[in-house]
A and B are shown apart, each in its own frame.
Chain A
Amino acid sequence: MSELGVALPGRVSEPGACGARRGRVMIARCLRLGWRNTDALITSLVLPIVLMLLFVYLFGGAIHTGSAYKTYVLPGVLVLCAGFGSALTAVRVTEDMSGGVIDRLRTMNVGGTAMLTGHVVASAVRNAVSSALVLGVACAIGFRSGAGLTGWLGAAGLLMLFIVAISALSAVIGMLVRSAEAANGCTFAVLFLPYPSSAFVPIATMPTWIRGFARNQPVTPVIESIRGLLLSHPAGNAPWLAIAWCGGIVVASVAAALVLFQRRAGEG
């Protein structure tokens, strides 16, 4: 064993890493942990593809939406999967908040910002990969987009914004609840949000009482704009609505997460 006699002379003089460094280290950590959580990784990569195949081949024959169903449904599936994958952030955050890890991080001046950055960015990367996989399989089974580069970029940008919004919102949930099970329960709420929207069937085919909700909930403009951008349909004001919704969710969530982190971590 070596001596620790050198402990004091080589002391780190600055008060820990700077904010950006901390954020970077936390992103690397969250990515690595996500990558190594094999079960969750497989779920988040395979489940979306299975879901899409399910919609296209199982329901596709029965649902008539006016265009080839796989073309109609793909934006919905993308959003559904991205939402689900992002919502898993809640479970990750809860695990971090309830273990001994959080105390160590706090005594190292790692605050809510670095924590949130790590989890949200890692989630964005994971979901970008899984969205790309879904898209790849969709193209392989015949999805064709008439969109040009701007359409694709716009759709990708909106999807990323949606992913960041849901990830941040889920981080808030992760800081609120006390157990991973509870956090998991909340992800299912997010998983179901796309159903009462235009994701899988046109809103006009729904019972009237649900239409109001379906038209005005945040997932609808996201799906409408991604569909519009990918299929070169006019999307009206949907993209602006989507940006407003997602931007609002991000801002509110980040603020709430930082306050909650302080409060939650400061107790006891």
Chain B
Amino acid sequence: MTTDAAIEAVGVRKAFGDHQVLRGLDLTVPRGIVFSLLGPNGAGKTTTVRIFSTLSRADGGSVRVAGLDVRTDRQRVRSRISLTGQYTAVDVAQTGEENLQMVGELAGLRRRDARRRAEELLDQFDLTEAAGRRAGTYSGGMRRRLDLAAGLVGRPEVAFLDEPTSGLDLPARQAMWRVISDLAGSGVTIVLTTQYLEEADQLADRVAVLNDGRIIADGRPHVLKQQVGGRRLELTFTTEPAFDSALRILSHRALSRDQHALAISVGTDGDAARVRALLDEIDPDRDRVRSFAVHDASLDAVFLALIQKDSSHV
């Protein structure tokens, strides 16, 4: 029996000793999308990915990946997935090309096809120039890209990426984001884990938030952000009359105000044109707003809000 979903997990439980890490995780990931599993350090993201990718067995519940049961159909599941783990799996003493070629041959490609596939991926991941160099000489970002490429050599249906950008600096992280974004729509289902809402927002079509061993929220990233407030534009005014008139104009758009500090905050997506328009609207003569700042809804805030909502349901 095959299903349409790339992943269907029901009631997954897993404990290490008496430490219950997953307590009934339910998750459905449609095919062909970029899916992000978001959660703080220690939430159980790696544990979940290892169970989904057949490396670890759940204590209870059921998981189907690419339509196959990970427990009873291990081998076939493995031929349809790939895993790019939290720690890179490239051989530093092999060149980028050799690494990919090896993985290709292990995946069942002929030598010649493996070489072609390696060249294709090196090009796609911006590694052609470094193809002949040992991976040990690569920067952290290049090594991660090579690792990700290795995960795609066998053309998996579902590719798992466990914290693909952790430990990378901003430029390397952005390069990784570009590469992952380019994969979207290619047919492969990408399941990535991250600790950053911003990253999930950038990359994923859908996000699930993992907390306390269960999925506490699941949906499109912007919806999730709206649920918890998204970003805030914080305005500080020059005088009390300026503050009062802005408050009149903004009325219900004001999310919060602080009479004493002459500060009002409103929701924003951070778009410059819209921020400018808003400033013009409340301050046409450019003498009322003293300063403004955009604050991200931090992951902490998101979790706090979600956890509060979650526990109010119980």
Contact = CB atoms under 8 A, between A and B. Distances in A.
A and B found bound together: yes
Interface of A: 1-5, 7-8, 10-12, 14-18, 21-22, 25, 28-29, 32-33, 36-37, 99-101, 103-110, 265-268
A8 B50 CA distance: 24
Interface of B: 16, 47, 50, 53-57, 75-76, 78-79, 81-91, 93-94, 98, 102-103, 105-109, 120, 123-126, 134, 147, 150-152, 154-155, 157, 182-183, 185-188
Given A4-B187, A107-B55, 5 more contacts: A14-B108, A16-B79, A36-B93, A109-B79, A265-B55
A11 B156 CA distance: 7
A32 B78 contact: no
Contacts, number: 131
Nearest to A14: B108
Contacts of B83: 103-104, 107
A152 B102 CA distance: 37
Contacts of B107: 12, 16-17, 108
Contacts of B79: 12, 14-16, 109
7 closest A-B pairs by beta carbon, nearest first, are A15-B79, A100-B87, A104-B89, A4-B186, A100-B89, A8-B187, A36-B93
Interface of A (DSSP majority class): loop
Contacts of A29: 91, 94, 102
In the complex, which of the residues A3, A10, A14, A108 has the most CB atoms of chain B within 10 Å of its own CB atom?
Answer: A108
Contacts of B187: 4-5, 7-8
B108 A32 contact: no
B53 to A, nearest CB: 5
B186 A107 contact: no
Contacts of B55: 103, 106-107, 265-266, 268
Nearest to A5: B186
Nearest to B184: A4
A18 B108 CA distance: 7
